[in-house]
Structure 1
Amino acid sequence: MNFDDAAEVASYDARQGGDPAEDRGLLEGLGLGVDEAMADIGCGTGMLVVEAAKLCREAHAVDISTEMLGVTLARAKAQNLTNVVPHRAGFLSYELPDSSLDLITSKFALHHLPDLWKGVALARLHRTLKPGGRLFLRDVVFSCDPAEIPTVSEEWIAWMSANTGYSRAEVAQHIRDEHSTFSWIMAGLIERAGFRINHAEYSMRIYADYIAEKT
């Protein structure tokens, strides 16, 4: 997907199945407070980061796509929010001070990096969080044996084709060209970066949610 193409960005929310109420519930469950600062890395059209801005002091919207950031800022403006701070950057290029954030979230973005650079990115996230700061990570993570990948991939392609706007070819391209990894590798990278994983949840042998804390 070309995230700088206006037409594709316009269809992003529908295809991703975003829900502001679900995002708000997630953020409240993560304990985001009124005096805290957070960042959403790979913020997309800003659904989550705008909900965060309603709950906290400062919300940083980080994305490499100018088009995505434009939609994010328009969403914030429409809701009279002035505490959303845009950054045209990614995991490896954003510039925020060390120990400056209470919470970092990222949904379906880290898989764009190979495992080597996932490790570097997670170390940067760790530095950016305050001691005790929280990380929420949701991504495509295979929680199956390597031998099961063909079967699990076909099941995922069928599910995505039936339940989202993504075609079989698009999902197959993700599996072929993106850098989704295995659950034991992802958990190891998170812990190696200095986090303690407080919660890990896997679904469909494809998706994973991690809640981790900077120790």
Structure 2
Amino acid sequence: MKVRRFSSDSLATVYTAALIESLLQREPHPVLGLATGATPVNLYRQLVDFHRQGLSFSHVTTINLDEYVGLPWTHPQSYHRFMQDHLFSQIDIPPGRTFIPDGTADDLEAECVRYDAILAAHPIDLQILGIGRNGHIGFNEPDISLKTRTHVIQLTEDTMQANARFFGSGEQVPDQAITMGIQSILQAKAIVLMAFGRDKAWAVKRALSGEVSTEVPASFLQMHPNVTFVLDEEAAADL
């Protein structure tokens, strides 16, 4: 695994955006695996800026990691809405080439099967990841075992507390999500994990140098041949 340390998250974001631009320029039909949450917001802002400077996304397919269960697509905190607001509505990507799990599906197990079929049809060239304070990637939470494919997950109290800041006062934070599984993530040809801030330092250290364990799902990235950790100094503080 490669580690790239930057003095600020702004520089780290530009570096990651440049990796994506390189992929888009060399591949005729690139597939990007995308993440949500606070970490990639500036990355998407940078990609929008690249688009305004001439970078086209018309040949790109995107596949998102996860979505909350029960939130309609129009909800301000749904990941469908997040991606529309921060990226899709501001670039030239065809709407039919953006895939996000449907957390409102009547049959969630069938939705997981449908999403696995999408992943099989569109192998991911570059997967962007964040990391939770407890070491989760996607919404694959620490557990005694981890599911390999797309599945419904019960979110931990720590994850719900971390996400509560995005919801209004008194608004209930979803306690379930649909997420790509660990094996699906590891099948990407290349992976970039972004982590910023001191509160991510423990998880970053365990992911990079700790025992591969279901207690720290990100540690499974040690088994992948092409992973880059893109960190600011605070996230790298324990290395």
> Under TM normalisation by the shorter chain, which class is it?
0.3 to 0.5
Taking structure 1 as the reference length, the TM-score comes to 0.48
Q: Which has the higher contact order (CA 8 A, sep 6+)?
A: 2
> Which structure features the higher share of helix residues?
1
